[in-house]
Amino acid sequence: MNPELEIRKMPIQARSRLSSMLDVNNSWKILMGAIPKSAENGETKKYSSEDVRLVENEAKRQIKPAFEILIDEWGTSGKKRPTIQELIQLLVKLELYQAADYLSEDLLDDGPLERPANGPSAIVPANIANINFAQTNTYDLTDQTVLEATNERLRYFQQKEISRQTLFEDFDTSLPHLSYTDLEYLTNNFDQNPVSNGRKLGAGAFGTVFLGMLQENHHLDSKGIQIYQKMKLPIQSKVAVKRLHNQKADVDIDINRLFRTEVETMSQFAHENLLALLAYSADGPDCCLVYPFIPNGSLEARLACEGGTSPLQWNQRLDVAHGVAKALIYLHTGRTQPLVHRDVKSANILLDHDMKAKLGDFGLIRIGATGRGSKSIAFTSNVLGTSAYMAPEAFRGDISVKLDTFSFGVIILELLTGLPPYDEERDGNDLISHVDSALDDINFIHLLDPKIVPLPENMASTLHSIALSCIQEKKRRPFMTQVSIFRTSAN
């Protein structure tokens, strides 16, 4: 393997092996703290202690090795992207020889690296054996300590339940509030069986979605009629009910805050390409959101032709891109302060009966900085979103409308190639790396989705150029108002 290969293109097996080595004693933190800002400016460090903490929190949230998160961030930032050789040099400088030797011997086939003759980094003599590496640091936890911790945890959840029961009373929204029992009525008690013989439509990181409707024999039921009157919907309508998962104790995510953000924000915003929020519920054991039922599912599922669905044609794909672009421009410019979605991805783009795109899932939405005519930047300590779509600066907590532009660029690549944004079995796990790597050998036209008639080369080239502009480093990345998606009658 070429030592000048960028680290972001390392095989998944190599990344996994390095992660297991550098997770020991949190060695990845030592590495991250020593990364220089640039090759020319080696004394100034690229990352602060706050950046290290953000990566650590994101690794916990994704249940993923921290070194993997670091590679995603470091490997895609800067004018000159770091190579395997530069990583080896830095590991040697920090005397992290196990990882450095693995890269040199196993990956580059260059043999072991030279080590100091003395000290902790010296080669261990072969005759030293039978060392007991059993963990020695134990903790004397008395029964009383455990009891106090348990009682404290119980008090926390009891208080949380009390606050939830009164949550909806002071919401700043005009949306109707439905009781939890109303939603049990519509979803057949949140029937967990698949929608083919039950009500479950799907599940994500923060919640499960159920089909809500009245049974045939309930059409004239006064309770059902009352529920639909609250939502101002025809009695025959179907709805999608998203029941949020209770917050896990080991994940630093405030589900109640995400819930409240979506309710209060989306009651003030309406656009033909945004998924409308019809109602909410906050008086039961779980918070719930109610949306219109969108019959053609997610863009992610349709690009994968799940359930035997026919592939989207080019005119449909271009219309989807145009619709998502309009939705983002509306969020970014519709009010005095821009709203940043932060989780734009094909799974959050739904297709209605006319295949019109509806951008949804606004729990992560935040007020951000446009970057235009302003030196202020919004920062967050929670790095949330989906990593395959996240701009490098997102891992540092930098929030601006350009986060959504980056994600939009990945969406364009998905529409062009028909490939998923992340695939562990693929050379270049994330789609950006995969396309970038493939272009070393073939023309982009050969990466177009083979399931449908080829798009004219000039159109494909233009769309590819738009995607590339959207995934540039932040200062060179356009605003969505500068991204022009053409429409076509091509089939």
DSSP run (H or E) holding 291: strand 288-292
Between CA 371 and CA 373 the distance in angstroms is 6
- Distance in angstroms between the alpha carbons of the first and the last residue of the chain: 42
Tokens of 115: 């080590």
Between CA 323 and CA 272 the distance in angstroms is 8
Between CA 333 and CA 401 the distance in angstroms is 10
Query: Do the beta carbons of residue 95 and residue 88 sit within 8 Å?
Result: no
Asked about 343 being catalytic, the answer comes back as yes
Query: Do the beta carbons of residue 349 and residue 252 sit within 8 Å?
Result: no
For 370, phi then psi, to 5°, come to -75, -25
Residue 478's closest CA among 418, 404, 421, 426? Answer: 404
Between CA 288 and CA 225 the distance in angstroms is 20
Q: Tell me the β-bridge partners of 203.
A: 208
Helical ranges in 285-425 per DSSP H: 299-303, 314-333, 402-417
As a whole number of angstroms, the longest Cα–Cα distance in the chain is 87
Return the amino acid letter for 353: H
Q: Tell me the β-bridge partners of 289.
A: 242, 280
Query: CA distances (Å), 69 to each of 243, 386, 411, in order?
Result: 29, 12, 21
Between CA 39 and CA 275 the distance in angstroms is 46
Beta strand 200-203 with 366-367 is: unpaired
Between CA 211 and CA 329 the distance in angstroms is 30
- 343, 361, 398, 430: the catalytic one is 343
**Is residue 367 classed as helix, strand or coil in its secondary structure?**
strand
Return the amino acid letter for 3: P
User: What is the four-CA torsion angle of 31, 422, 319, 311, rounded to 10 degrees?
Assistant: 170
Between CA 394 and CA 243 the distance in angstroms is 27
Active site residues: 343
